[in-house]
């Protein structure tokens, strides 16, 4: 899958639990194997989204930071 095929979710400016809630909704719309790139700037998002992805059986491919923005790449597994 090319990077351009990734779905993107901009959750910057939103605070807990909104980034996790929106990530959940977007993942439910996706097919198994697709990748979602989520950007968030809520400090709690790093733990919240990472734990949510693991708990729900998805693959957290990577987490990167650019200033206060954290980007998660999550692969839908099921």
Active site residues: 16
Instruction: For the beta carbon of residue 36, count every other beta carbon within 10 angstroms.
Output: 21
Residue 65 has φ and ψ, to the nearest 5°, of: -120, 140
Q: How far is CA 35 from CA 4, 20, 22, in A?
A: 10, 16, 15
- Alpha-carbon distance of 67 to 22, in angstroms, equals 22
């Amino acid at each position: 899958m090319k990077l351009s095929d990734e779905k993107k979710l901009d959750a910057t400016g939103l605070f807990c639990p909104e980034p996790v809630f929106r990530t959940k909704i977007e993942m439910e719309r996706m097919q198994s194997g697709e990748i979602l790139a989520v950007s968030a700037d809520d400090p709690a998002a790093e733990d919240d989204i990472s734990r949510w992805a693991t708990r729900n059986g998805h693959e957290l491919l990577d987490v990167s930071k650019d200033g206060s923005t954290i980007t998660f790449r999550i692969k839908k597994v099921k």
